[in-house]
Structure 1
Amino acid sequence: MIPYTVWSEAGGVGKTTFTVNLARAHVEQGNRVLAIDMDPQDGGLTHHFGVDDDKANSEVDNLVLHMIGRPRGPFEEIVRTSEGVDIVPSHNMLGTLDELLTKAADLEEDTNPDPNYVFEKEKQLRRVLIDAGVPTEYDVILIDPPASEGQHLYNAVYATSNLLIPFEPSPKGEKSVDGLRDVIKGLEAELEDIDVGVLGAVPNKVKGTNVNQKYIALLEEEDIPIAPVTIGERGSMLGDAWDNQVSVYELDANDDYRDLRDYERPTLEKFDELAAYLEKQFETTEVKA
């Protein structure tokens, strides 16, 4: 199994776009893929794949209910499918995940007959996935949490142990580089019994300017592995994919949408290359599943 979390502490660097298109790229290579949207904000992965119709419905079962031990049905019934990607959609309850996990911890610890029992909040997503047999059902698991630290990120990292970091090589993206090793050490300290692996930082929205190269050099100074793939600035194509709630692969393949321009089509090949690179990482390195 190939589990990883797509994350950057800087917003607006293309985190969700990466998750959407990498999920589809893994499908293109014949993998069974589960994408989990842990971001409570509107307009994320759930919207991009067009499965956000129940996001505000308080009556439906959702991931948070499973994480706090109050599911309304089996895990597989909360999974939606789009473009061959199985998706655990975001739900508005994610907005209070920290609070709900704290309440669940208090209740479980108060009612458990074992006086040494501890409800570990950051391990609940992993528990849900293991209980549902996800590691044996899927080849690839991607998680898209919010940029901020908290139980969304902690649960995502604990469930996958691995990070892929989209990086915009510009002043806007500098925050995602500055002190990144300290952030990773902080996650390891918070989660205690895991080592966080960085599969790579991926330069995104690259224009080939000297400014871009300056910030890529800063990334190298942080001793962060850089993936051998860069994604160019393709705002028009990605914007059209977003507007139509599809990946760039579907934008290209479906005659209902516009044809890709010649200079845009290599972006699909870049995502294919990146997916293949990530899969190779799990073949050649010992990464926690």
Structure 2
Amino acid sequence: MITWTVANQKGGVGKTTTTVALGGLATEQGKRVLLVDMDPHGSLTCYFRLNPENIEASVFTLFEQRSQLSEALVGQILTPTPYANLCLLPASMALATLERKAIGDGMGLVLLNTLAQIKDSFDLVIIDCPPQLGVLMINALAACNQLLIPVQTEFLALKGLDRMLHTLTMLGKSRKQELKYCVVPTMFDRRTQASVSSLRTLRNDYSNVVWPGKIPVDTKLRDASKAGVPPNLFDPEGRAMEAYKSLYKYMQE
């Protein structure tokens, strides 16, 4: 089982869209895919028409019962989606309370230990993170083999990237092992100088870690989210999906 985390300490950069798009593409290859929503806002959960405000069994349950983690417990929380080979560990708004409760042994490894219970059930896990550093993001980073950092091609998003890379440096020192990561330019609009300039800065300043492609602005991604359909099924030949296909292939190289 391979695990990817999608994270950035800035919101609105395309994390949830990237999670669903890559997960959908993986299912096309027959892979059994699990999407994990670690964000109290529950954007990924809402994508599949679940309500984080009243959901009973969620990722929060795993933290509550972390001393009793088992395959059976995780199985009670796993939620099938309407799409073949695509499953979800949903979020609830209760996750927002974890930061003040995050005291005690093993709080940073709950997700890693959870995935160990179901390692034979899935081929690929993709984790969607909240846009701030805390126990939820730490869990997601500790559990993954590789990190994707979506970065909107605009100036303020580049500042957010600096914070994220600083976090990775600190995490690497504590883990005594660097986490492999890839910066993914998103929401690129070739019609605006700001977007073109930001992409150029990304390429110049972070050339060794930036994916060679870019995800363009595409209203079909928003329409897919509104319909609750993975983008690869909603608009399989669209320009954004062509870019995500390239990214998915790159991540497997």
Q: TM-score normalized by structure 2? A: 0.87
Name the residue aligned to 2:88. Answer: 87
Aligned length: 246
Q: Against the structure 1 CA distance between its residues 66 and 181, is the aligned structure 2 distance closer, same or farther, given a 3 Å change threshold?
A: closer
Taking structure 1 as reference, are residues 224 and 149 closer, same or farther at Cα in structure 2, changes over 3 Å only? Answer: farther
Are residue 251 (structure 1) and residue 234 (structure 2) matched? yes
Q: Which amino acid aligns with 2:211?
A: A
1:68 touches 1:101 (CA, 8 Å); kept in 2? Answer: no
Instruction: State the superposition RMSD in angstroms.
Output: 2.3
Query: In the TM superposition, what is the alpha-carbon distance from 1:211 to its structure 2 partner?
Result: 2.9
Amino acid at match of 1:99: R
How far has the Cα of 1:247 moved from its partner? 1.8
Corresponding letter in the other structure for 2:128:
D
Output the amino acid matched with 1:178. D
CA distance in 2, matches of 1:79, 1:22: 19
- Report the secondary structure of 1:87's partner residue: strand
3-state secondary structure, aligned to 2:27: helix
What is residue 68 of structure 1 aligned with on the other side?
A: 64
Match of 2:239 in 1: 266
- Structure 1: runs of 5 or more not aligned: 106-118, 254-263, 281-289
Name the amino acid aligned to 1:80: T
Distance 1:226 1:47 in 2: 29
Distance 1:194 1:123 in 2: 16
Q: What corresponds to 2:8 in structure 1?
A: 8
Match of 1:279 in 2: 252
Letter in 2 for 1:64: F
Identity percentage of aligned residues: 27
Q: Structure 2, unaligned stretches of length 5 or more? A: none
Corresponding position of 1:46: 45
Contact 2:127 2:140 in 1 (8 A): yes
How big is each residue's C-alpha offset from its partner over 1:262-282, in whole Å with a ceiling of 9 and x where there is no partner?
A: xx72322222221121122xx
- Equivalent-residue separation in structure 2 for 1:126 and 1:215 (angstroms): 35
- Cross-structure match for 1:141: 125
Output one character per residue of 1:166-209: Cα deviation in whole Å (capped at 9) or x when no partner.
Answer: 111112322233354322112324x43442211x1111111224
Match of 1:186 in 2: 170
Task: Map Cα deviations across residues 11-49 of structure 1 (whole Å, 9 max, x no partner).
Answer: 11111111111111111122111110000014x011112
Distance apart, 1:223 and its partner CA: 4.9
Q: Comparing 162-171 with 202-211, which one deviates more in the overlay? A: 202-211
CA contact (8 A) 1:63 1:78 kept: yes
SS at match of 1:74: helix
CA distance in 2, matches of 1:139, 1:242: 24
Question: Is 1:175 paired with 2:175?
Answer: no
Distance 1:194 1:151, change over 3 A: farther
Question: Of residues 122, 125, 143 in structure 2, which corresponds to 1:159?
Answer: 143
The residue type equivalent to 1:46 in the other structure is T
